[in-house]
Amino acid sequence: MAQTNPQPAIVLTISGGVVTGHGLWTVEQPVCVLGGGGACTGTYDILRIARSISPSLVVGASGTYFPSPHLGFHAEISYLGLPIDDTCTPVFLNPDPPNQRGQQMCDNLTAAAGTGGAISLFVGTTLRAASTKAISPYARFNIGVVNLSSSTTEVVGAYVDAGGLQERQIIEDINGRGASFMVGIAAGITTPLGTGYQFRLEVRDIVNSLTRVTGPADDFAIAPTDSKYYHHFGLVMGLDIVLERKRGRRY
């Protein structure tokens, strides 16, 4: 009777949810029509290529240590998704019988399912209130890296001709994949689920840098690029396993 309820001090969380997508870049790309021997004929098809990041699932695991009732430190590793999806629309196509290679490449880009994934690794601080109550609100501040498995700039078209399936490099990757810096904020609530467990509901905003194409590629498939920070909003639910508790303050 002389103490408040015990406060979770070390918490392991397994979580899952969804994260939003967004547009990435759009470019009207000239593609030289190839003649015999694969040489450029000097005539160009024009393809409008739009790349986006599709909504995806997020799954992760984290650990949080609270040295005091209201302040904690956490680390998380999660699969963030961020699959890359393309849409292609022909703007101008030259006659190219019998295979219509420009149209085939455009159709192939549009039909291909979103690919790729991203792993995020971040650390940060957690501020919580009412840690001994049935519902405990909290806020988190994160900093870390996101590692992409696919290029955000490379574009490869495919077509079929007399020689079978052919692939053509439309835009070459210069530096569109790899690790990028990220920051984020989150807010949520936890509530007990019996002894040793908690339910967690969280909304988060992950901001990270992605490389995008800013203009059409030249005949060597090299396009101008830059980097831009994008917001990825997520809704995450989690199960907390409380590994250690601290006694509440005596009165």
Give all domains of the chain, ordered by start, each with its CATH number: 18-240 (2.40.160)
pLDDT tens digits, 17-63? 999 999 999 999 999 998 877 788 889 999 999 999 999 999 999 99
Q: Are 246 and 71 within 8 A, CB to CB?
A: no
Q: Are 202 and 185 within 8 A, CB to CB?
A: no
Distance of CA 251 to the CA centre of its chain: 48
Nearest to 168 by CA among 113, 108, 212: 108
> What are the angstrom distances between the C-alpha of 44 and each of 73, 95, 101, 162, 231?
56, 10, 12, 21, 36
Nearest to 24 by CA among 173, 120, 153: 153
The total of other beta-carbon atoms located within 10 Å of residue 190's CB is: 25
Q: Which residue has the tokens 């022909």?
A: 90
pLDDT tens digits, 164-194? 898 999 999 877 667 889 999 999 999 999 8
How buried is 221 (Cβ within 10 angstroms: 0-12 exposed, 13-18 middle, 19+ buried)?
middle
**Radius of gyration, CA atoms only, the chain:** 25
pTM: 0.84
User: Is it the case that residue 2 has pLDDT exceeding 50?
Assistant: no
Residue 99 confidence (pLDDT): 85
The H-or-E segment that residue 155 falls in is strand 155-161
Residue 44 β-bridge partners: 32
> Taking residues 196-220, what's their average pLDDT?
94
pLDDT tens digits, 108-122? 999 987 777 899 999
Phi and psi (nearest 5°) for 18?
-130, 155
- The larger pLDDT score, comparing residue 5 to residue 131, is at 131
> Taking residues 195-215, what's their average pLDDT?
93
Tokens standing for residue 40? 């450029």
Q: Are 65 and 75 within 8 A, CB to CB?
A: no
Residue 176 confidence (pLDDT): 60
> What are the angstrom distances between the C-alpha of 54 and each of 26, 51, 114, 251?
15, 10, 7, 53
Per-residue exposure over 1-15, b if at least 16 CB sit within 10 Å of its own CB, e if not:
eeeeeebbbebebeb
User: Is it the case that residue 247 has pLDDT exceeding 80?
Assistant: no
Tokens standing for residue 230? 């994008």
Residue 179 confidence (pLDDT): 82
pLDDT tens digits, 72-123? 999 999 998 889 999 999 999 998 888 889 999 999 999 987 777 899 999 9
Q: How far apart are CA 116 and CA 94, in angstroms?
A: 33
Residue 75 confidence (pLDDT): 97
When pLDDT is cut at 50, 70 and 90, the band that residue 157 belongs to is very high
